[in-house]
Amino acid sequence: MSRLSAENVTLAYDQRVIAENLSVAIPDHSFTVIVGPNACGKSTLLRALSRMLKPAGGSVLLDGAAISSLPAKKVARTLGLLPQSSIAPDGITVSDLVARGRYPHQGLLRQWSPEDERIVEESMAATGVGELADRYVDELSGGQRQRVWIAMALAQQTPLFLLDEPTTYLDIQHQIEVLDLCAELHEEQGRTLVAVLHDLNHAARYATHLIAMKNGAVIAEGAPADIVTAELVEQVFGLSCQIIEDPESGTPLVVPAARKPRRGSGRGGRAAEPEGASGAEGPSAVREASGAEVPAGAEEASAGVGRGSGR
């Protein structure tokens, strides 16, 4: 049985329905990635799975119980979330923000302990932000901040971790760093990860389980090598492409079809010249066009224009 699933859910914002009768089951210990075109419902599904959006119909189940019926702290001890836009309080340091991940484990009879301190330090070390512990979060780069937020989620010590577009606004180097970190959490710690990604090639490289959505429905799901085909990409994204093997990872790599140039235009957008056309009219051409005589020697002089004179 999957620890996290959605059964026949209807997802809506006010009266605007995003998905109806949608069912998904997240495989335990997988790195599941949800992909699809803009406004297909992938982030809305993640919000429902994380209890940030209550379904208008159907149920989201966590360990067999409706997630909406569970106490907030119990959910927070089981499921961590990295939202699409995370805003840190002004003037907070990295270590203080990461320490907030321990809040679900606090209570009247259990206050801050040496174990909490150890977990915070280990979470910062695992994400490579230990040396930033005393820095203010708002002083960090985008990639560093994202690692700090992941460290906070790690400090929650949840077996399930949901990430909504974790690479948004990051350059390519930091995108790969964040996804490599997620892969390490999955492989080395056995956590179940669910992420929404826009880049299909990143999804195919890192996911162990891929869910492709369109118009609020699941079109296909399974291992990337099993489902990523040119036909699927055309169906879901409306993109003509070829699928080749990624030379680095061996996973499917989507190569979009090249743009076809307009007929009769060259690379620069100008009409192609007939073969043999020089682009400049010499004296003979002028004479033929006008019928005027060209003084003797003019053709020879003209032929020398543009040659190096040494001056």
Angstrom CA distances, 31 to 103, 153, 248, stand at 26, 16, 19
User: Along the 311 residues of the chain, how does pLDDT read in single tens digits?
Assistant: 699 999 999 999 988 999 999 999 999 999 999 999 999 999 999 999 999 999 999 999 999 999 999 999 899 999 999 988 778 889 999 999 999 999 888 876 667 889 999 999 999 998 889 999 999 999 998 889 989 999 998 899 999 999 999 988 888 998 998 999 999 999 998 999 999 999 999 999 999 999 999 999 999 999 999 999 999 999 999 999 999 999 999 999 999 999 888 776 555 555 544 544 444 444 444 444 444 444 444 444 444 444 444 43
For residues 233 and 163, what is the distance between their CA atoms, to the nearest angstrom?
A: 23
14 Rama sector, left if φ>0, alpha if ψ -120 to 50, beta otherwise: left
Helical axes 172-189 vs 142-155, angle rounded to 10° = 20
Structural contact between residues 65 and 19, judged by C-beta atoms closer than 8 angstroms: no
Strand blocks (E) in 232-282: 241-245, 252-256
Structural contact between residues 228 and 254, judged by C-beta atoms closer than 8 angstroms: yes
Long-range Cβ contacts of 267-270 (<8 Å, 24+ apart): none
Looking at this protein, which amino acid is placed at residue 169?
A: Y
Give this prediction's pTM: 0.79
For residues 123 and 130, what is the distance between their CA atoms, to the nearest angstrom?
A: 8
